[in-house]
Amino acid sequence: MHKLLKELEMFGPEMKGKVAVVTGGSTGIGSETVKTLAALGCETHFCGRNVRAGKEIEALFPAGNAHFAKVDVTKPKELERWIKKLPVIDYMVNNVADDTRVAWEKIDVAAIERAFAVNLRSHFLAIHAALPAIRKGEGKSIVIMGTSNWMRPEANCILYNVTKSGIVGMTHAFAREFGPEMIRVNTFTPGWVATPKQLKLNMHAAEKKMLKREQALPYILYPEHEMGPILFLLSKASRSVTGQNLLGECGKVMT
């Protein structure tokens, strides 16, 4: 069973019995988000491409709080069909992303289109599809996951950084558009988080040393460290917060 951090239990009374949608929820920060919401009693519907990982998360919650669907977010009709099955949605976390590192010389139209389709267009389409159900919910909170990478760019991440930076503008536009309906939209921007994927591909001893040196808080971030800020933005504790970009990156950027 998922071991919920003690400091997150305060959100339980509000989250229990609510309905959440998480895109890109089978691995990384997304999977931690799904497990945390489900552990708090929230009926959590999540999608991803990793069927085995998705089913393993479902199995952690035999009471049925976690529901996985294999969805390709680059296919609009597939994404829309999945979301529109839900009559009511309280919370939405748009987490899906493609951070594939591509050298400038190897960027082509196909790579550009895929980066935009996953990192920007999918969030727009997911919110568009979910809005009727969100209007019927009580939570009325949407969180879109950003990245601090575009604020202090690294080499070979140009497609990721350009597309993810657009999330902040999208958040502003949606927050203004839907504010009169009391629907809140915020970006949460994690730092470099030690997910299994990052630990395998990119975050080695040198990178960890660099992070501890450059962050104001000198420790390595893991997915569970980002759950508090995400739950805060979803909950009524942040009822006055919309159109904002909340950073959870241990003070590496400090905008």
Measured between alpha carbons, how far is 226 from 166 in angstroms, rounded to an integer? 21
Measured between alpha carbons, how far is 18 from 209 in angstroms, rounded to an integer? 41
Is 47 within 8 Å of 31 (Cβ atoms)?
no
Tokens for 57, please give them: 């998360």
User: How far is it between the farthest Cα atoms of the chain?
Assistant: 52
What pLDDT shows up at residue 255? Answer: 66
CA angle, corner 45, sides to 44 and 50, nearest 5?
Answer: 120
* pLDDT bucket at 12, cuts 50 / 70 / 90: very high
Query: Global pTM?
Result: 0.94
How many percent of the chain have pLDDT more than 90?
Answer: 80
pLDDT in tens, 168-177: 999 999 999 9
What pLDDT shows up at residue 85? Answer: 97
pLDDT in tens, 99-116: 888 899 999 999 999 999
